[in-house]
Structure 1
Amino acid sequence: MMLNRRLIKVFSRPTRTLGSRVWLVAIALLALAGCAGGDGDKLPILGQREAVTKQVDGKTVVDSVYHTIPDFAFVSQYGDTVTAKTLAGKVYVADFFFTSCPTICPKMKTQLKRVYEQFGKDNRVVLLSHTIDPSHDTVPVLKAFADQLGVTGRNWLFVTGDRDKIYDIGQNSYMVTAAEDASAPGGVVHSGAFILVDPDRHIRGIYDGTKPDAVDKLIADMTKLLAEK
């Protein structure tokens, strides 16, 4: 429990060496798999968990409550509202970027397009890219960006919304960095992580979105997770 909290805090702290920290924390979280629901061929459930005592048939039992992505409401490149309900029953991959990013975002989008090409016609899968520069990345800007990538349909959604809510869900729910930083290129700093989320809104994997081999692992784990469900 305490170790998980420390890891989440480390992952939420802005830094220029984000790619390295993604892997250090992901490795540490995976080391906790035995404590977080992983068994056999199943992917672990990452993040903090809590023991909850409840009454079942008159008996006191202790159950585990796993870290869960909370409800949210953002706006997609199509102008409609995307919520947790929109993704109900689906496996999805979340990431954080901005369209004018001069550093890691082009690499991330090249790699995430590989995932889109693999699963873009599978209605059980959604890619969810959150802009961390909503003042610039309006709905029309996101739509033009998606069009430039060759994205059609609703399997890859680019979402915008209230800046503070985007930063909050990134750092406190997805366990990655998303914050303003005047000294950073583009004025914001963010993680290069891709976060794999299951239909129950549990995080099942964190991957370096700038590395082809890490994205190969993500694709393999998505296939495994779809088979699990």
Structure 2
Amino acid sequence: MHIRSIFILLVITNALFSCKSNQTEELPYLGIPTEENQKPQIPSFSFTDQLNRPTTEATFKDKIYIADFFFTSCPTICPKVTAQMLRIYKEFEQNPEVAYLSHSVDTRHDSVPKLKQYADKLNIDHDKWHFVTGKKEEIFSISKNYMSIVLEDPDAPGGYDHSGYIILVDKDRHIRAYCNGTDPADVDKFIDKIKVLLKAG
């Protein structure tokens, strides 16, 4: 889908949810249905995390998870987004139902040892937060299912252009909320939506 179309969809969806949230705490189902009347769902996937473990949809069985796209040498938005991801991680650190999935878009340079080094600096539980790599085409392709933008661009800082969205996925792999990971105030609202989803079970 064209980048502009994705952006417009996100803006409209967010506006609709903002109106709805005043009346109910139920979170919407976001994304683009693949079939008529079907709730959008993140497809099956298979990546490798920072401990060289296979990471698939089964890794997140019976858990909600928070997802983003990044790369370790990103000089622009990634440090800000990762800092906000860490805020969310600490908020729900003791909750076994919440996990995290960070996809590296730089599959050439972000090796498993490099991802582990990056994760170690954050002092996180490697069983809760998975930093993954895999085939470039598979990571780029699945980013569309997360309504995120990932482009290889030699003119962009670090060589990649990607959105700074943080995405909330429920136990059935449906997107239920997202936020701008560079905006702490937006992340505050996102944290509240995580609590709503947890309360819903």
Q: Same fold (TM over 0.5)?
A: yes
TM-superposed CA distance for 1:174, in Å, is 0.6
Q: Distance in 1 between matches of 2:99 and 2:167?
A: 12
Q: How does 1:161-180 map to 2 (within 5 A)?
A: 161-171=134-144, 173-180=145-152
Aligned to 1:91: 64
List 4+ stretches of structure 1 deviating above 6 A. Answer: none
Are the aligned partners of 1:99 and 1:137 in contact in 2 as well (CA < 8 Å)? Answer: yes
Aligned to 2:119: 146
Higher strand content, 1 or 2: 1
From 14, 27, 30, the equivalent of 1:46 is 30
Q: How does 1:1-229 map to 2 (within 5 A)?
A: 9-10=2-3, 21=7, 25-32=9-16, 40-49=24-33, 64-171=37-144, 173-229=145-201
Q: Distance in 1 between matches of 2:4 and 2:60?
A: 25
Three-state SS of the structure 1 residue aligned to 2:38 is strand
Count residues with an aligned counterpart: 197
TM-superposed CA distance for 1:47, in Å, is 1.7
TM-superposed CA distance for 1:49, in Å, is 3.3
Q: TM-score scaled to structure 2, two decimals? A: 0.91
Q: Deviations over 1:58-95 (max 9, x none)?
A: xxxxxx31110000000011110010111122111110
Q: Distance in 1 between matches of 2:185 and 2:9?
A: 17
Q: Distance in 2 between matches of 1:66 and 1:182?
A: 36
Q: Letter of the aligned partner of 2:73 in structure 1? A: S
- Which is greater in Rg? 1
TM-superposed CA distance for 1:27, in Å, is 3.1
Q: Distance in 2 between matches of 1:50 and 1:100?
A: 34
Three-state SS of the structure 2 residue aligned to 1:140 is helix
Q: TM-score scaled to structure 1, two decimals? A: 0.80
Three-state SS of the structure 2 residue aligned to 1:68 is coil
Three-state SS of the structure 2 residue aligned to 1:66 is coil
Are the aligned partners of 2:166 and 2:181 in contact in 1 as well (CA < 8 Å)? Answer: yes
Are the aligned partners of 2:81 and 2:181 in contact in 1 as well (CA < 8 Å)? Answer: yes
Cα 1:89/1:77, change in 2 over 3 Å: same
Three-state SS of the structure 1 residue aligned to 2:115 is helix
Cα 1:50/1:145, change in 2 over 3 Å: closer
Q: Distance in 1 between matches of 2:133 and 2:189?
A: 28
Are the aligned partners of 2:49 and 2:133 in contact in 1 as well (CA < 8 Å)? Answer: yes
Q: Letter of the aligned partner of 1:10 in structure 2? A: I
Q: Letter of the aligned partner of 1:157 in structure 2? A: H
Structure 1: where are the runs of 5+ without partners?
1-7, 14-20, 53-63
Are the aligned partners of 1:33 and 1:45 in contact in 2 as well (CA < 8 Å)? Answer: no
